[in-house]
Amino acid sequence: MAIVYALVARGSVVLAEFSGATTNASAVARQILERIPGATDTHVSYSQDRYIFHVKRTDGITVLCVADDTAGRRIPFAFLEDIHGRFVRTYRHACHTAPAYAMNDEFSRVLSQQMDYYLNDPNADRMNRIKGEMSQVRDVMIENIDKVLERGERLELLVDKTTNMQGNTIRFRKQARRFRNTVWWRNVKLTVALILLILIIIYVVLAFVCHGLALPSCIR
């Protein structure tokens, strides 16, 4: 497996490229750039003879590489993802206005280094396998999050019902407290009225007794 050519472009404007072999890849790559819609994010592969042209376009920046047909797609597209990230982090907004080959002197060396890395370093394939597994885990987590969100809606309904029950309980307690206070005051009033009535009766009885017996001690 070998990546023999790579470039970075904005639309059809090539900003940097590197070729590790003598092929017509550069001419074919320019034809491909002309055919790709400029405003569309793309992950696509084209075949010519024993070579495959892999293309990734994101946010107007295109990265393209050419690999032999034994390379598959995982490693070439991992290479393109790597190159796209490095290029955007390095040049940021400049990559959207720079003229042709403005970054070629500096970034062609990065293309060469990463082409060699993905060709010779056994960790490259291992890292890409890990990335693929992480992507699968992420997809599963997204599915689980969706389920949690659906469950969250039911939980919100349950919380609303619980809140209503709590509100009803608080209102019931307030009404019960007012009722107890009302009953207490009523009992106090009845007790006071009863005491006053008893005192009046005692006073009347004593007055009647004193008057009926004509006790001198009762006459002033």
**What are the tens digits of pLDDT across the range 19-42?**
988 788 899 999 988 888 766 788
Can you say whether the dihedral through the CA atoms of 51, 41, 33, 14 is positive or negative?
Answer: negative
> Angle at which helices 74-91 and 104-120 pack, to 10 degrees?
150
Measured CA distances, 173 to 159, 169, 206 (Å): 21, 6, 49
pLDDT, tens digit, for every residue of 74-118?
889 889 999 999 999 999 889 889 999 999 999 999 999 998 888
Quote the mean pLDDT of the chain: 77
CATH architecture of 3-163: 2-Layer Sandwich (3.30)
What is the value of pTM for the model shown? 0.55
The domain limits of the chain are 3-163, 166-219
Sheet of 61-68, strand order: 13-19, 3-10, 61-68, 51-58, 42-48
